[in-house]
Structure 1
Amino acid sequence: MPSIDVLHVDDEPDFLDVATEILEKQSSNFNVITETSATEALERLAESNVDCVVSDYRMPEQDGIELLESIREQYPDLPFILFTGQGSEAVASDAIAAGATDYLRKGHGTERYELLANRIENAVEQYRTSQRTAELERVRALASNIDQALIRASSLSELKTRVCEIISDSEPYLFAWIGECDSDTDRIEPCAHAGVEEAYLDEIVVTADNSPTGRGPAGTAIRERRIAVSQNIQEDPEFEVWREKALDRGYRSAAAVPLEYDGTLYGLLCVYSSRSFAFCENEQELLSELGDNVSHAMHSLKIRDKLRAERTFTDQALDSLADIFYVLDSEGRIQRYNEQFAAVTGYSEARLTNLDAVNLFPDDEQDAVARAIEETLTTGQTTIEADLLTGDGKRIPYEFTGDRLTDQDGGLRGLVGTGRNISERDRRERELEDQKEQLERFAATVSHDLRNPLNVISGRLELVQEESSSEHLDVIETATDRMERIVEDLLWLTREQREIGSQEPVDIETAAEAAWNIAADPADEAEMYSDCGTDTQPLIKADVDQFQHLLENLFRNAIDHAGLDVTVVVGRVSSDDAGFYVEDDGPGMPAGEREKVFNPGYSTSESGTGIGLSIVKRVADAHGWDIRVTESSTGGTRFEITGLETAN
C-alpha cells in the first residue's frame, strides 16, 4: 500500500508524540503530521497533501466537530476520524452527522492504536478508491468536453475561449487562460481566458525570459517546452511576483502547458487550482495530453484558415478574369467555374453545377465539343473554337483551351480550362480581310492604271530623246524613274506578306552584289564594296527575296541621300556576331533624325520615296532582327542589323 499521510490534531503535545510513535510502529506506511490546534490544522491542510485527519474532540478555541465542519467546507470527502477520550454517544452522533468517517474512543494499551491504524487504512483505501473513480470520471468528462469543443470550433479564437471555459468549470480548477509569446519583447500576452479572474491578467506581467517575471510556470514552460507547475503558491519562491494577487483570488497552485505541434509553438495554456498540490503526476499527464490535443487542433485550424485564405484569393483572382474559367470532371460535367462563366451563360448555380458541358453549346457544335473534351481527357490538351449558347439563346463565339487534370498519383480527375470571347477578334479579322481585299484592288489599280501610262511615257520619252536633247527631258526621265520606284515599293507593301517565307542559307556578300546591280545605275560613279572578310564567314538564315529587297532599299537610300558618286561598304558588325552593316561616305544623318527614318513617308531627299526604309524595317522585324542607325566611319550614315541566325 502506498504511504499514508496522517494529520493528527490534539491539544496535548506529549500525547501526540506517543501516539505518533505508536501509529508509525503499527504501519511503516504511516507518515504522521501533528498539530495542536484546529487553526494550525487548517493551515497545514492548505499547505500539504493529507490522506486522513485524526482529531481529538475537546480542544481550546475550536473542538473536533467544529474542526470537522470547517474541513468539510473545502474537503468534503477527506477521511476524518474523531479520536477522543471525552466521548459519548451524543458526541459520536454529532460527529457522524457532521460528516465524520469514523469515531473511536481513546484507551490504554496498544490495542486501541492497532484499531485506529486499521480504521485509518480502511478509510484511506475507500477514500482513494472513491477519489480514483471520481478522478477518472472527471478526467473523462474534461477530455470529452474539450475534444468536442476542438471538433466544433470554427475559429482559433472560439477554440481558445471554449478550452478555457471548460477547464475553469471543472473541479478543482478556478481559472484558465491561453497566451502567446511576443518574440520581440518576450512577454506572454493573454488572448483568451475564463473563470475566476477579476482582472488578474491586467495586473500581472508574465515573460518567457529568465527574469523574475519569467521564472514561474508560464515562462519555464515556454523556455523548456514542457509542463511546469507551482504546487504551493503560498510557499513557492518562483511565484513571489504574482503571489499576493493569486492568493487574493483563491489560487493555490498553478500549471502551464506549452501548446506545441511538430516543432511549432502555438501558445501556452495556464491553469489555476483552488487546492495546493493539485497537479500530481496523473494530473500533469492529463494536462499534457490536453495540451497536445489543443495544439493539434490549433495547427489544423491554422492550416484550414491558410487554405481558406488561399482558396478565397484564388476565387477572387479567377472571378476578376475577363475570360471564363471552368473545371469539368472525367464525365465532362461542370464542377467549378468563375463569376464570368455564370454571367456570360446567364445560368444559376443550381443549373450549372454538374451540368454536362456539351449542353452549353448549340446542336451543330455539340459533337465537336464532345470530341474536344474527350481529346483533352485522353491526350492532355486541346483548343477549340465554338459558339457558347447563353440562357436566352444567344450564340457567342469563344475559343476554349483545356488541360487534363490529375491527382497527385496521376489518376484522372477531369479537365481545367478557360474560354475567351473572340467576337472582337473575329470582327478585327473581318476588317483585316476587308483591308486586304482593298489593298489588293489598290495594287491592281496601281499595276494597271499607273504602270501602263508610265510605260507609254517612258517609251515616248526615249523616242523624243532620239530626236532632240533638252534638260527638260532629263528632268522628265528622273521623275518617271522615281514614279516607277514608288509604284514598285507600293506594290511590294500591298502584295508581300509581313511574315517571312522559308529561310535558306544566304551569303551576305553575294546577296549584296546582286542587290547593287539592281539598285545602282552602271553609268553613275557610285561604288559598293564588301568588307565582310574571308570566305570562312558563316552564312545567315533568311528569306532570300525579302533579304535582297532589304539590301536594294538600303543601297537606293544611300544613292538618294549621298549622291551618285557615293561609296557604300557592306561588312560584318563584329567577329562574334552574324550581323552586318551598310554604310556610306555621304553627309550623314543628324542624331535627332535617326529615330524617324523608318516612318512611312519620311525622306530628306527630293528623289526619295519615303517608303524604302519602312520596307527595310518591316523585313528586319519579320525576321526578328534588330536595326539601328548610327554614324559611319567616314561621317556618313551607317545601318547596323543584328540578331541574325547563322545557317552553319
Structure 2
Amino acid sequence: MRSPGSGDPSISLLFVDDEPALLEIGKAFFERSAGFRVDTQETAIDALRLLEMQSYDAIVSDYQMPDMDGIALLRALRERGDRTPFIIFTGKGREEVVIEAFEAGADFYIQKGGDPKSQFAGLERRVRKAVDLHRAERATRESEEKYRTLVDRASQMLFLHDQHGALIDVNQKAIESTGYSREELLSMNVADIDPDVDKRDDKQWIWQEAPVQKEERIFETRHRRKDGSIYPAEVHATRVTIAGEPCILALATDSTSRKQYEAALRESEEKFRGIADNTADTIWIADLNFKIQYISPSVLRMKGFTVEESLAQTIEEKLTPASYAALLDRFNEEMEREAAGTADPDRTVSFETEEYCRDGRTILVENSTRLLRDEEGKPVGILGVSRDITKRKEMERALKNQLDLIDGLFESLPLGVIIMDTDGTILRMNRGVEEITGYSAEEIPTVKDWFLRIYPDPVYRDEVIATWDSDKEEGVGSRECKVTCKDGTVRDIEFHAAFLADGRDIVTISDVTERRRAEEEKERNEYRFSLLANQARAYTWEVDAEGLFTSIGPESEAITGYMPDEIVGKLHFFDLHPEENREEFRRR
C-alpha cells in the first residue's frame, strides 16, 4: 500500500460522494488550493477497494450513499486499524446522525448547503486542521516509540529519578538486571536498589540540596536484585531537565564481568610471569629497533647467556650475518604491509635464525612473533617466543635421508606396487606398474580407472571386481588375472593384496606370463610322453635312493599285475624282477 511521503507538506485527499457533479466541483476547488492532490470515488464500496491499495492524508465522505453510507465506511476503516482523518460532509443534519458519526470516530461533521465557495473553504480548513493534528499525533507517537526502542534496546541499565530518588522511568535492561517489573521499579526509590547510597559522599550531589557546579558523576556502587542478591555496578549519572523539573539520568553497567576480568587479568599476569620464568622456550619483548626489553631466564639454558648479558647484547651480536640480513628484510617487508594497511593486525610471523651461544657454537632457532600495539593500534614493540630446533633439524635431515632411501627402494622393486586410499584414490604407484602394464600414475588416478583400462572387456571386468570385493571381505590376499596392457597385449598377472586396518590397500603385481607359458609347455610335454608310453606298452616310474617306488604310471597294472597303490611306498624296484636277478640289481 502506498502511503504519503514522510515530511511531505502536500495533502492527499480522497473525496467520496454519489453526486458526480459535486465531486467534480470539490476536486477542482481543492486542487486550486496549494498542496492538495484529490482522488474521487462515487461509492463507499469502491473507496474501500481503493484504500486497500493506497492511503491518504484525509477522507471526505458523504453520509447517505447507495449500498453503504459514509458512517459504515468509517466504521469499516476503523475496524481494520485505519486512523486516517475522516470528515462527514452531508446534507443530513439530524442530531442522531451527528452523534453516530462522532461515536464511529469522525474528526469533523460538516453540513452541505449555502454558498459553495464558502462551504468548500470551510471544508478545506477542517481538512487541514485534521491532517495537521493527525500528523502531530503520529510524530509524537513515533518519537515516543523511537525513544522507548532506543531506551529498551540499550545495553546499559537506565534509571531516571527525581532529586528525591523516586524512580520516574527505567528501561528493559534495568528490569532484567534487577528482577523487578517496571511497575515495581516505578514505585521504588533509588535507595531500595542501591544499599550504599547513604554511605557515599556523592549523596548531596544526587539529592535536591546538591550543589550545581557538577553536572555528571561516575562512581562504583552495588545494586540489590529482587531476590536479595548483590552485584557490582558502575554508574554514570547526569543532571537532566524533564518537563521543567531537575532529574538524574543514571546509566548503570553490571561490572561483575569486568571485575572478574580484572581478577583474571591479574591472575593471568602472574601465570605469565611464572610460565615465562620457567618455560623451556625463551620468551622476549623487544622494541622496533630489536633492543631487548625483557627476556626469560630460559635463555641461559638455550644459549648459555644470563638475562643481564642477553639484555646488553645488540641484535648483531646475537645473530650470524646471514640471519641478521634475512631478519631485516623480513621486518621491512612486514612494516611495508603495515603501512599499506593490508596486514592482519593479529597475525603471527614465524622465521628461523642462526644464533651464537656462549661456547662459540651456533644453534638454529625457531621464532614466533607478534607485534605489540598501543591504544591506537600502532606497532610499538615485538613479542617473541624462541625455541632451539637444532636437534629437530638434524632429525628432520636424517628422516629425509631415510625417506629418500625408502623411496628409492620403492621405485626399484622388481614388481609393481599400488597404494590405494579408502575413497578409491590411488595414492602412489611405483615404476614397476608402468613397466608391466604400460600405464603411468597420471593415467590411472583411481581404482575405477584401473579396472576400466586393465580390464576392457566389461563382462570379465565385472567378474574381477566381484572377485576383488569378495577377497577383500574374506581377507584373501592372492589372485591371478589376465590383464590387458596399454599396448594391447594380454598378460598373466599375479596379485597379492594387503588390506590395512585403516581401510587402505597395498597391492603388488608380478608378471607371471613367461612362467605360465613354461608350465603349460611342461604339461604338454608330459602329456605327449604319456601318450608315447601308452603306445609302447611301457610305464613311467620314480624311485628314491633306496630303490623304493615313489610313483608309477597306471600302465604298470597291465604289465606287472600290480595296482599302482600296491607298489608306491611298498615295493622296491628289484621286487618286480625274478629272484635270480634281484641280487644283481641290488649290487647295481
- Scaled by the length of structure 1, the TM-score of the pair is 0.35
Q: Which is helix-richer, 1 or 2? A: 1
